[in-house]
Structure formats: C-alpha cells, structure tokens
Amino acid sequence: MKNTKIFRLSVVALLLFEMVGCGGGGGSSATPITVTPPPVVTPPAPTVTISASQKNAAVAQSITLSWSGTNNTNCSASGNWTGQLAVSGSQTVTLSTAGSNTYTITCGTATATTAVNTLPQYTAIPDANFQAALTSMGVAVTNGSINTSDALGIDTLIFTTYGCATYNPSSPSANSSLASADKFAHCYNTGTPISDMTGLENFVNLMDLEVDHQQFTSVNVSPLVLLTHLSFWAVPLTTIDVSKNVALTTLGISETPLTTVDISKLTALVELDFQNYWNGGRLVLPYITSNGVTVNGYSNLDISHNVNLRRVYIMGNNIAALDTTHNAALNELWADSNNLTSVNVSSNTNLTFITVDYNNLNYLNIAGTQIGGSGTMLNTVGNPNLKQVLMSNAKITIELAWWGSNIGNFLDPWTTLTPG
C-alpha cells in the first residue's frame, strides 16, 4: 500500500515536471488543437411562379391561374384574389372588374405576380356597316354591341371594296390574295364604306388589320399591340398614332391626306409601304381618289430608327431627303416621283433594287451596293440634272452588258455610269 502511494506521487510529479518544462524557456512548443465547427446549412430559398391562361379577357369570362412554388409549405394570394394556397396548383377565376387585374402569390419570402388586361363585357359598334361586317363573320350584334369575348377571338380583320377571293383549302397555291382560311373568314367586302371604327380598340388580339377605301378619318390602334401587319389604303385619315404598335413588321398607309407619320418606335419593321398611285411620269399632288380621299403625299420620312427595314415603297410623294445610313438590311428602295435631289446608298451593301425615276436628282451614289446585272434594278429616268451615277467599276461592266441597247429604258441619255 505504501509503495502504491509512492508510485502515484512519482507519476504526478513527473506530469508536473513535463507541464512546467513545456512552458519554460527553451522547451519545445506543443501543437495547438484546432476545433472546426460544423458547417452552417442554409436552407434553399423559396421560389414561386404564376401565369394566367389569357393575357386579354373580358368581364364575365373565366381564366385559369397556374402557379408553382418550391421550398415552402404554404402560400397566400393577394391582389384581385385572396386566400391560402397550396405550394403548387391552379384555380379558375371569373373576371368581374374591367381594368388591369393583378394576381399575386406569396410563398415565404418569394412573390410573383401576373396581370390580365380585362375589357368591358360588351363593346359598342355604332357604325352599321362595321356591324354588318362583323355579322358576316359570325359575330352576333345586339342593340349595337357585341360580346367583347367575340372580339378577343379574332386575330385578322380585312375590310375591302375589292372583294374577298374564294379560299380553296385543297389548293393553297391558288389563294394569292388570301394566304389562309382565317383571312378569308375575316374578310368583308364593304358595299357601303365604314365611317366609324369605334369598337376596334377592343380587338386587342388582332395581328393583321387591312383596310381599304373606307371613310373614317381617325382610328385608335394603340391598344392593338400584337399587330404585325397593318394597312390603310385610300382612307381619309387625318391622324394616326402607331407608336404603341412595336410588333409591326409590315406597315402600309397609302393614299391618305397624311403628310407625315412617326414610325420611330417601330424597330421591328421590315416593310414600309407609303406609296401613292403612280403609273409613270411625275405625279401631281394633291389628287383625289375614286372614293373621294384627298391625297397630299408625304413631305418627310425618317427611317433612321427602323434598322430592320428591307423594303421601302414611297412612290408618288413630296419627300425631298432620305437618309438610309442606318438601314443596313435594306434590300429594295422604290422612290419614284418625289422631290429627292441627292441619294447616297453606298453604305447599303445589301441593296439590289433602286428606282428613283422622276425626281430632281443631281447626285446618286450606288457604289457598294449589289446593283448591277441580272436580279437587280436601277431606274433613274426623268432626272434632268443627273449627269452621272456613281457605281463600282466592276458593276458598271456587268450592268452595261446586261442591258445592252435597252439601257435607255433605265437611264436618261445624259446620265452615265461612273466609277465611284
């Protein structure tokens, strides 16, 4: 027992000696022990998305809202709907209020919103000929109004005095004037012209609107933001705003009293048709169409913002200057019978057609374009002050060889092709 105590005391002394030795000068340092805390696990953030079955609808119509959330157990609705919602699901909602109806869903810290442009349940159509046109298309007119839901079901409207060609579904190639059955179904030959287009503003799903030889002086196309093709011909328009129709790829406004139209917002535009009736020679403006429209002609045109333009038709106007330096994609320029004095399209390297007959040109530069020979066009007849056309030397040779003795049909005798 005594020996055991002596042994224990010896061990304790030895340990104390080691501890003192470790801390004393000249002794070796012990390696520190680093304790690494466990990683902090951040739970994934909640997410949610929501969509509506229709972006445009009418009062009394039903739409379906669909949503999907993650990393949460419950969601809540706000805006034009309320209540607790499952993390994912769908719900049918009947619209009761016109205007922009918004539907918001919140799942934890995640929020999403969708909006439905809700129009009145009924749309007034005061013009009897507009009513007749819609009736012919199968739209019910009651007491001068239609169900707006019927208007929302139409994406094409054509009002013409030329007649609607018969659509033959078994021979699509035969339908030259109407490319589809839908166009035929929504084309109306107006024996008596429409003089008031009130109600058109609620046809917000329209993508194609073509009108000729009608009698209205104004039309509201601003709400028709889905339009890709818009055409007015021989209509006595005194004003038009197309600044909201940014999806347009084709725009035609011809034979109207208008002298200018702002197209600066139409950056998707591919084809511009602002031509007036021209069949050779110098067109005298103003003139009156067969349906009594006074045509003044455009006096100016700014296409600097329309960078995707490929085809420009502006025959029979009073345009004195045209800048095409911002239109790199331009392929065709038809500008006969204007007041142009100088045209420089040398930067339009994709240009293959240019016709500028009966202007006041004294300068024309087409060097750098594709013009020259087969598949291209150059017309400059009727410009008494145009002595030369600047053109690449190689293209001159090709052009002269192509036209041969017929060159006089396209160039005045005093105009020569000159390397430039």
Domain boundary among 87, 119, 151: 119
Dist. CA 266–CA 25, nearest whole Å: 85
Q: Which two tokens stand for residue 217?
A: 């002086």
Report the pLDDT value the prediction gives residue 55, as an integer from 0 to 100. Answer: 96
Q: Is residue 406 part of a domain?
A: yes
Q: What residue ranges of the chain have pLDDT lower than 70? A: 1-30, 165-184
Dist. CA 344–CA 144, nearest whole Å: 54
Report the pLDDT value the prediction gives residue 183, as an integer from 0 to 100. Answer: 60
Q: Where is 298: in which H helix or E strand?
A: none
Dist. CA 299–CA 55, nearest whole Å: 39
Q: Which two tokens stand for residue 205?
A: 């799903």
Dist. CA 306–CA 309, nearest whole Å: 6
Say what the pTM is: 0.85
Q: Is residue 385 part of a domain?
A: yes
Nearest to 351 by CA among 386, 391, 314: 391
Report the pLDDT value the prediction gives residue 28, as an integer from 0 to 100. Answer: 54
Dist. CA 386–CA 363, nearest whole Å: 6
Q: Is residue 351 part of a domain?
A: yes
Q: Is residue 266 part of a domain?
A: no
* Residues 121/126/132/135 CA torsion (nearest 10 deg): 10
Q: Is residue 391 part of a domain?
A: yes
Radius of gyration of the chain (CA): 37
Dist. CA 236–CA 253, nearest whole Å: 11
Domain boundary among 102, 119, 136: 119
Tell me if 351 sits within 8 A of 322, measured CB to CB. Answer: no
Q: Where is 19: in which H helix or E strand?
A: helix 2-23
Q: Is residue 30 part of a domain?
A: no
- Region of 375 (left: φ > 0; alpha: ψ -120 to 50; beta: rest) is left
**Hey, CA dihedral for 179, 185, 190, 191, is it positive or negative?**
positive
Tell me if 383 sits within 8 A of 356, measured CB to CB. Answer: yes
CA distances from 17 to 7, 26, 31, 179 (A): 15, 14, 19, 104
**Domain, as residue range, for 101:** 47-119
Backbone phi, psi, residue 357, to 5°: -60, 145
How much of the chain is helix, strand and coil, in % rounded to 5?
Answer: 15, 25, 55
Dist. CA 56–CA 49, nearest whole Å: 19
Domain boundary among 86, 119, 152: 119
Q: Is residue 237 part of a domain?
A: no
- For 98-110, give the DSSP string: -EEEEEEEEETTE
The number of distinct structural domains making up the chain is 2
Q: Which two tokens stand for residue 32?
A: 């520190």
Angle CA 304–310–311, to nearest 5: 100
Report the pLDDT value the prediction gives residue 185, as an integer from 0 to 100. Answer: 74
Q: Which two tokens stand for residue 54?
A: 């229709």
CATH code of the domain in which 76 resides: 2.60.40.10
Report the pLDDT value the prediction gives residue 163, as an integer from 0 to 100. Answer: 75
Helix (H, G, I), strand (E, B) or coil at 183: helix
Q: Is residue 69 part of a domain?
A: yes
Dist. CA 210–CA 162, nearest whole Å: 12
